[in-house]
Structure 1
Amino acid sequence: MKNRKIMFMSPLEVETIEEDYIPGKLGEHELFVQLVYSLISPGTELAMLSGKEAWAKLPICPGYSSVSRVLETGDGVTEFKPGDLVFHYGSHSEYQVVAADQLLIKLPEDIDARWVPFTRMATVAFTSVRVSTIEIGDAVSITGLGLVGNMAAQLARLQGATVIGVDLSQERIQTAASCGLDFTLNGGEGDIKEQILRLTDGKGVSTHIEATGVAKVGVDSLAWIAKLGEIIFLGSPRGEYNADVTDILNYCHLYNRGCITFKGAHEWRFPTHPAEFVKHSLVRNSKIVFELMKQKRLHIEPLISHVIKPEQAREAYEGLRLNKDQYNGVLFNWS
């Protein structure tokens, strides 16, 4: 059979290739699947495409989040059968073998399959809420309203907070507003600290979620966090940033600077599968996201900017790199 794959051949060079594929004998706990939809993760995949990520040596077939149809199962697989639609962390390869003991969840029948690849972005965002102290009535700000930041904002609001979203893109701000955020601010217009203090009666926010991955943005946001508040680093910091580290640490140490708690919210701080002594897991969070999607309490449709063919991959990554206002949630339709 012919297998289509999206490949990062060298820095900033994307190709959709077609190659001969001969399925081998499946292991006892393996499944052979065919992609239906796969979602681009702008942060992770553009970092890979830059060629600067040591863990992602080029050439490489990227990928992040997928919905696939099961074609065949190994002898030891009992939870899935051919024809099932499954959510998994897959690559942009039309045919692939996945392990049944990894994150692999059967789709509910009454859910839009286009929404499901966004589940991984939502579970990444979930980490910021899980590690936070957000309670009903709190004020929460979020810098960066891309896919992950937008969903972190929605989840914080579901937690009972009044949410203030900050971004430089007017289009992302409008999308966030359509997803129900209480307040949205353009980071390039006016003094953000003053605007947030005005919205919070001079107190500042009790929790700030930094979703851009830009170190300076995180440091700048310390100024509008209330005393004994917290900053949660959701976006993976990338790029060089020079500053007075002592001054930054004093926001954490000194009461007159806030005694702010610094927290990391990387996706993999939770186990993949539920465990007896651990409340949260990626599987549990994913199933909760399914329910929130079905109930339309987590808004996905406004996040979908493009549904395109794999053959348009070069256009998609160029758009995400150079035209971030128009390209945000890009799905490949493999059917």
Structure 2
Amino acid sequence: MPFKIEDALRYGFAWIEDRDSLKYILLNLAVQLATGAATILLLLMFFQQYLSLLFMGESTSAAFLPLALDWQEFISKVIMFFAFLIPILIISGVALAYVQALMVLFALRKKGLMPASFSFIKLIRLIIMGIAASLAALFYSFDKTFRVIQWLSLFGSIVSILLIRLSPLFIFLALPFLLIYIIIVIYNFLRLFITEPIFLHEELGIIETLKKSFEITQDEIWNVFLAALVLMVVSYILNQLPLELLKYTVLPMLSSQPTLALIVSSLVAILLAPIFAMFNAFYKVGVYTELLSLKKQSATAGI
């Protein structure tokens, strides 16, 4: 039986039929709104006088703002701002990862798959696994042949770039190496496309999950490529297209009020994000189960 991308895509929207999905969407939305509100409060706390000049229509004052700044005070405020903002963003990132994990667990259960036990430690390991997956894609392919080519192309790129100082002609040597390296990185990311559903479905460690993803996607790279392409298209439709429509319909009417226009576009983006997050969770579980089915059929046929 061939890979059915339409089934995975259909399952990506299966959450619409279940009212329980609303609580996960609202959780995601609450985290994003809280993060946005905290960021705005910090901006007002540290930069209210500067923001009033920039956004309240005082164009003359805004033009002379660089001259009026007490740079020592301004830099100290910037440092304090980021000292408060970074912990907020870290907490927000962990909270969003938690909600995303809940969405994937929800999608797994709705698909009839029993998820692995979930805890705070599992969540932290999930976040670490995401970082590990990115590093593996960039530097360590679990396909031995591709790993050798990846390292050689990366080494060749670095050496060629360093040698450009000796002769600009080395750029023509660097470009093929860079192209090969980029292709392999994309290939690795595709092979790691389903790490999150695997990790939340099975009791596996981080490295075991990455290897399992490579195992399941073995000989299925074009199907995974198609799945990733569909995800990109849906991402554009759900996230970017409404903002583009907003840009050419509502925002021109707010051209005289740039602050309000910024607030409107930001709110729309925040409202759209949880919907795509839910689709992403269900869609990846759909792709994961499709690939699992193919592997089981291959194993059965082999027997």
TM over 0.5: no
Q: Which has the larger radius of gyration?
A: 2
TM-score range, shorter chain: under 0.3
Instruction: Pick 1 or 2: higher relative contact order, CA cutoff 8 A, min separation 6.
Output: 2
TM-score normalised to structure 1 length: 0.23
Whose helix fraction is larger, Structure 1's or Structure 2's?
A: 2
TM-score normalised to structure 2 length: 0.25
Whose strand fraction is larger, Structure 1's or Structure 2's?
A: 1
